[in-house]
Amino acid sequence: MDRTNKLYGIVALFDTPDQIIHAAEEVSGKGYKKFDVHTPYPVHGMDDAMKLKPSKLGFVTLAFGLGGIAAGLLLQYWTMVVDYPMNIGGKPFFSLPAFIPITFEVTVLMATLGTVIGMLSVFFRFPDNKHPLHETPYMTSVSRDKYGLFIGANDGKFNEAEVKELFSSLGGKGIAEIYEPERTLYDAFNPKFVGLLVLVALLVSGGTYFSLNKLMYMNPFNWMDHQFRGVPQQASDFFADGRMMREPVKGTVSRGHMPYEFADSAAQPAEPLANPLVASAEVLKLGQKKFLTFCSPCHGNHGDGDGRLNGQFPVPPSLHTEKLQKWQDGNIYHVIAVGQNIMPSYASQLNVKERWAVVTYIRALQKAGNASKEEVQQYRKENAANVK
């Protein structure tokens, strides 16, 4: 290795562990900071002799570990709550217990990578293929049976003569100067180097693709890559009706839903259901919205049977007849759910709550259209401020 005239530091060799321990204590005691010890194996008590402070590598591990926790939780939050929320068994979108395994794995991965990369690149300053101590007799000796001590020229107390005298007084041998090597910027765009990188990339990517996508799927194994499965909205030669999409099994009840018990007959039930809703402003608003959407085209906006179909269909009866006013709420609900005469069922358009809301709104229309004189006067009296 070609070297320059710039002094890097001074080294000395010692024969026993006791000598190197004593030498390290003396050097650290005299206030030197930029020094190091090299031994062929770990020497017990060397940390105390060199007065080494605890490593800061743990803070790097902690920082990357906390970053892994934040990254894991934020990624799962964004995926499950913001970008593609899914209802899984009624659990909340942000289900922390379910996110713990992935968060733990990301934390361990980030902490490990941060520790290794930080240790090698920052604390050990690797890779350095042209370190001044490489390829020196000193490094050859301390790699076999000698113990070495190095003091860097960048130390604030460094003086070449004083350091050599100190090493001599401590019994050091092979005292020598170490000079900086010639450092040249490595040509990263060297054609041979670039060609090697391209070749390695092709071999690794091509080999990985072939192994994972071809080799593993050769007969007799296909890892379920080719299997019978139903494609929505396509024909099928497996099912008798020729359709791939299947209807729910007869009698199937969805979770939280109670089927209408009189749905099989258009005849009015002997004991109709009772309206579970209270005629609040919210219920009446919902009922009005659904009535105007689905009922008013035939029955008219006020239920008088004067719809907007202009005779295209038989005119339905008024909702203010004595018969309908005497009906229970469950009778009107039954007609909405099952249908009557040419009126079809609206069970697919209106859910249970919406049907009862329509029934409640119809009662409000009947009350408004058939109020007595006394009731009108009482209403005007109670709402004098709003009635003009």
Interatomic CA distance for residues 368 and 286, integer angstroms = 18
Among 46-55, 91-100, 125-134, 316-325, name the one with the lowest average pLDDT: 125-134
Count of Cβ atoms closer than 10 Å to residue 5 Cβ: 6
Interatomic CA distance for residues 25 and 159, integer angstroms = 19
Half-sphere exposure of 341 (CA within 13 A, CB side): 5
> Alpha-carbon torsion 29, 33, 34, 39, what sign?
positive
Count of Cβ atoms closer than 10 Å to residue 215 Cβ: 10
Helices (H) and strands (E) in the chain, counts: 13, 4
Three-class SS state of 275: coil
With a pLDDT cut of 90, the percent of the chain lying above it is 54
Burial of 136 (0-12, 13-18, 19+ CB in 10 A): middle
Band (pLDDT 50/70/90 cuts) for residue 81 is very high
Three-class SS state of 46: helix
Half-sphere exposure of 174 (CA within 13 A, CB side): 18
What is the structure's pLDDT at 127?
67
Query: pLDDT tens digits, residue range 351-364?
Result: 999 999 999 999 99
Cβ distance 120 to 16 under 8 Å? no
Is the pLDDT at 137 greater than 80? The verdict is: yes
Query: pLDDT tens digits, residue range 223-237?
Result: 666 777 778 888 888
Query: pLDDT tens digits, residue range 311-328?
Result: 777 888 889 988 998 999
What is the structure's pLDDT at 307?
84
Query: pLDDT tens digits, residue range 271-306?
Result: 999 999 998 999 999 999 999 999 999 898 998 888
* Region 339-344 average pLDDT: 89
- 375, amino acid identity: E
Is the pLDDT at 128 greater than 80? The verdict is: no
181: nearest Cα among 139, 143, 118, 149: 139
pTM, entire model: 0.43
Strands (E), the chain: 3-14, 35-38, 147-152, 173-181
* Cα torsion through 209, 210, 213, 218, rounded to 10: -170
C-alpha triplet 122, 25, 54: angle, nearest 5°: 35
Higher-confidence residue of 150 and 185: namely 150
Band (pLDDT 50/70/90 cuts) for residue 186 is low
Among 102-106, 127-131, 162-166, 203-207, name the one with the lowest average pLDDT: 127-131
Interatomic CA distance for residues 175 and 150, integer angstroms = 10
Band (pLDDT 50/70/90 cuts) for residue 330 is very high
What is the structure's pLDDT at 239?
87
What is the structure's pLDDT at 216?
78
Burial of 372 (0-12, 13-18, 19+ CB in 10 A): exposed
* Region 27-53 average pLDDT: 94
Is the pLDDT at 189 greater than 70? The verdict is: no
Average pLDDT of the chain, as a whole number: 88
> Strand 35-38 vs strand 147-152: parallel, antiparallel, or unpaired?
antiparallel
Band (pLDDT 50/70/90 cuts) for residue 182 is confident
What is the structure's pLDDT at 385?
58
